[in-house]
Amino acid sequence: MRLLSLIAVIPLLFLFATGEVGAHAFLDHAEPRVGNKVAAPPREVTLWFTQKLEPAFSSITVTNAAGERVDTGKARVSGTQMSVSLRPAGSGTYHVNWRVLSVDTHTTNGNFTFQVGQ
């Protein structure tokens, strides 16, 4: 009977399965820094994460104040670091959207802004 009770615990543990599946690569810091103001348009945006990333499933898009894409496309990934080059796009608020897959197979996405000029 006691054995049956113990075995009955196992399906209960699977009930934890209804919880949120997490993701693991957190944004550690960025250059230009999150929310900061820089004098001239940067040539690239670089993000550092808390865990190693999968290049094929990690990306960054950067848009300017007018909502136009200013990144040149494919992000470069090396270990925990991801960069994308930018086209010159004047001053204003830049929006950075990122989506990454950490090597332990969990996706994370997020966004932040930084200011150029003014």
Partner 1 sequence: MDFGAADNGAMIATRAIHFAATAIVTGTLVFPAVVANPALKSQEAAAKLFRMQTRYVAWISLAATVISGLAWVLLLTMSLSDESLGEAITSGALRDVLSLTQFGSVSQVRLALAILLAFCLAFERSAFWRWLGLGAAVGLTASIAWTGHAASTPHTLGYVHLTADVLHLCAAAAWIGGVVSLVLLLAAIAKIPASPGATLVYDAARRFSTLGMLSVAFLVLSGIVNAWILVGSVRGLFVTEYGQLLILKLVIFALMLAFAAVNRFWLTPRLALRSGKTEQPEALRQLARNGTIEIALGLAIFAVVGVLGTQHPAIHLVQ
Residues that bind partner 1 (CB under 8 A): 2-3, 6-7, 9-10, 13-14, 16-27, 50-52, 54-57, 79-80, 101-110
Closest to partner 1 by CB, 20 vs 118, is: 20
Closest to partner 1 by CB, 70 vs 100, is: 100
Output the smallest distance, CB 36 to partner 1, in A.
18
Output the smallest distance, CB 93 to partner 1, in A.
19
CB-based burial label for 102 (10 Å; 0-12, 13-18, 19+):
buried
Output the smallest distance, CB 10 to partner 1, in A.
5
| C-beta contacts of 110-114 below 8 A and 24+ residues apart | 110/27, 112/27, 112/30, 112/34, 112/35, 113/34, 113/35, 114/32, 114/33, 114/34, 114/35, 114/36, 114/37, 114/38
Closest to partner 1 by CB, 101 vs 116, is: 101
